[in-house]
Amino acid sequence: MTARGAAWGRLAGRLVRYGLVGLSGVGVNFLVLRLDWVLLHAWPWLAFGTAIEAAIVTNYLGNARFTFLAPPAWGSFLRYNLVAAGGGAVQDAISSLLVHAHWNYLAANLAGIPVGTLIGFVLSQVWVFRSAAGKRGMRGGTSGPSAGAVLAGLGFRRRPHP
């Protein structure tokens, strides 16, 4: 296998692990959302927001240890929260708009999750956990395709220089 093929293989494995951690986060998200919605009768933006943040915390811990093989640290936790907050804000906006369009709140939540997930994976790969792994030189850590290669694999292409 070529070095490039091995790097893409590591990326694919990391994406699968990220997805598994994310599934656990979906469970946390729905549990907190249900409690907020049914017990507290929270406004949609507040119910979705607290559900998202609860999932962010559990997903950070799972992704640090299981997906990116990095010990939890305050710096990466803060970066992860910034990334997840951005993805979460997009998810929250999509979910809230769909509720206002008369979607069921659970279906609206499920529609917003994939968009936030994609944003989170790409930025976790290229920013949140990459610097920590590079400093430690971890075996099997986050070395892999560059940010440009990840984005190119998602269909983003650079324009040629004139």
Give the chain's end-to-end CA distance (angstroms, integer).
35
Per-residue pLDDT tens digits for 14-71: 989 999 998 999 899 999 999 999 998 888 889 988 998 899 899 999 999 999 999 8
Angle between helix 74-100 and helix 105-123 axes, rounded to 10 deg = 150
The span from the CA of 1 to the CA of 36, in Å, is: 50
- In this predicted structure, what is the pLDDT of residue 75? 93
Label residue 117 by pLDDT band (50, 70, 90). confident
